[in-house]
Amino acid sequence: MMLTRTHRGFTLVETLVAIGIITLLVAIMVPTVKMVQAESRNTACLSNLKQNYQALQAYQTANKGILAMCEFLPVVTPDGIEGGLPNLLSAYLPVESASWFCPADFDSESTDTGTSFTYLPGLLRFAPEIQLEVLQALVQLPPQTIERQRTRVRLETESKLTARLFENDTKSLFPLLMDSEDRHFGTRIPRNGVFYDGSARAMIVEANTAVD
């Protein structure tokens, strides 16, 4: 007598159950993967900000403690990118360095300007009280002072006065360099910054406070 072996395949119900389980697992895994990716980009962003801060420190050391003073963002012109922190610090950190970009930044405008970050001293120098003192310093210069010397005096005065604002910021509310936009969605805070004391961390722009 010969025995025959029958092979039973999956039934329609079993197939549907298997597909349902796989779909459920994918639905659970996708948000987790996205969250891990967001945290990874956030960590890399903080690392880049610290690297940029080291270049800022090197500039200050080479310039007798003077805080770097330039546009808060580079300016895009028909002749290329002008001004901005990456250009000013090019002797200490290459303009093409990846640290000038946030890994969570996918905006082509940042690529055009050469950085994802806003340099806050370059914005604060236009505060009326600072510009008033700058004007007073320029008025006191001899009439024969050449334009290059006047520019140097203006920048040094703006630098000293702006640095004073950060030195008096005992709660570290204002970053030196920060994400120009909210980019870190999926993390606790969508914007990072590096502060005058060298710490890089998340910040709350709306409340003007920072968290560790």
Look at residue 24 in the predicted model and tell me its pLDDT: 72
pLDDT band at 207 (very low <50, low <70, confident <90, very high): very low
DSSP string across 78-125: TTEEESSHHHHTTTTS-TT-GGGS-TT---HHHHHHT-SEEETHHHHT
pLDDT tens for residues 15-30?
777 777 777 766 666 5
Report yes or no: 152 and 113 within 8 Å, Cβ to Cβ. no
The one-letter amino acid code at 102 reads C
- Span of 76-85, 131-140, 190-199 with lowest mean pLDDT: 76-85
Look at residue 14 in the predicted model and tell me its pLDDT: 66
The helix or strand, by DSSP H or E, that contains position 179, with its residue range, turns out to be strand 177-179
What is the spatial distance between Cα 60 and Cα 75, in angstroms, rounded to a whole number? 23
Radius of gyration of the chain (CA): 26
Please provide the average confidence, as pLDDT, over all residues in the chain: 85
Give percent of the chain above pLDDT 90: 56
Q: Does position 2 have pLDDT exceeding 60, yes or no?
A: no
pTM: 0.78
Q: Does position 9 have pLDDT exceeding 60, yes or no?
A: no
pLDDT band at 37 (very low <50, low <70, confident <90, very high): confident
Which of 180-196 are b and which e, b meaning 16 or more Cβ less than 10 Å from the residue's Cβ? beebbeebebbbbbbbb
| H-state helical runs in 71-206 | 85-88, 108-113, 121-124, 128-139, 147-167
Average pLDDT over residues 173-198: 86
Q: Does position 211 have pLDDT exceeding 50, yes or no?
A: no
Sign, CA dihedral 108-109-110-111, equals positive
Average pLDDT over residues 102-130: 93
Look at residue 209 in the predicted model and tell me its pLDDT: 39
What is the spatial distance between Cα 133 and Cα 59, in angstroms, rounded to a whole number? 24
Average pLDDT over residues 48-75: 94
Q: Does position 208 have pLDDT exceeding 60, yes or no?
A: no
